Amino acid sequence: MQNNALWFGTSAPLSGRRPLPPAVWTGIGALAIPLWATWPTLAVWASAIPAFELLTIAFAVGWLLLSVVEERTEASGKAGLLPALACALGLCGADAFFILATASIPAAEANLISYLWPVMVVTFGAALGLFRLGLRHLLGLGLGLAGAAVVIGGGTMAFAWSGVGLALLGGASWAAYCVFRLRQGPDATPVLTPGCGISAILCGVLHLLLERTVLPSWGALAAAIVVGVAPLALANLAWDRGLRRGDGRLLAVMAYATPLASALILIAVGLASPTPGLLAGAGMIIGAGLLCRSNR
């Protein structure tokens, strides 16, 4: 008999704990948004480190942290091979494809294109019967995407098939992971620890193939370490739990607040200035969340 645990992992329900309601899990998942939002600021502070070298350090730190956190907070059981690879595809693929896309198109445009991933999550999830998709969810996704476009910057779009395709692959990588985890259900085994470990190896290989190794300053190294702690480890841990146990449709729409939160952090630390579109984009994103807040 084939060992299905190799591919899908073993699942053990949390015993001895009172289950939290879905609304609480949705709130936990939403904690990923401000944590993800720290990534652009940290990336500026660590900009002296080549991109894939930075990701190698960050994923290694995330692996070390999650090795402790997931062991203490999740049920026992080892992740199968397929879940671990799916996690690595989502984590490493989203970042690697985005970085490669910026060689052909501006970073703001690549960021906007990759932010089609919430639409992909909700659409694919509905197609697989993971949740129902109503008109207001479609409207919320469209409004959230439009708000993100305003926040990121709605200037003249440069077009290059290679850059657009790579940015789409980045968004699709993360969306595929999210849908995979949704299908696994609320009691699936944790996969972020092996996923970060595999991602660190993949980014290390890409670094050796594409970049020159740089000895970072203490400040840049500290920023790289914080990337591994906040936007990679803790944010994705919160997102993974909230997505599977809370309202995945609402979280997908709320994810459009990430570019807004990123802009606010950049402004707060003096790395960016407020723009007229920021307030308009904020209103659109908030409106999208309010439109989809009900489960009925």
Interval 63-80 mean pLDDT? 73
Question: Which residues have CB under 8 Å from 24's CB, separation 6+?
Answer: 246
Residue ranges of alpha helices (H) inside the chain are 5-8, 22-30, 32-36, 39-45, 51-73, 81-101, 107-114, 117-127, 135-152, 161-184, 192-210, 218-227, 235-245, 248-254, 257-268, 276-291
Nearest residue to 185 via CA among 31, 59, 10: 10
Given a cut of 70, whether residue 293 has pLDDT beyond it is no
Tens of pLDDT, residue by residue over 147-170, are: 888 877 655 555 677 888 898 899
Give SS3 for 282.
helix
Is the pTM higher than 0.85? no
Tokens of 172: 């699709």
Tens of pLDDT, residue by residue over 261-282, are: 888 888 888 887 777 777 787 7
8 A C-beta contact, residue 174 and residue 236: no
Burial class (CB in 10 A: 0-12, 13-18, 19+), 9: buried
Tokens of 200: 């660190």
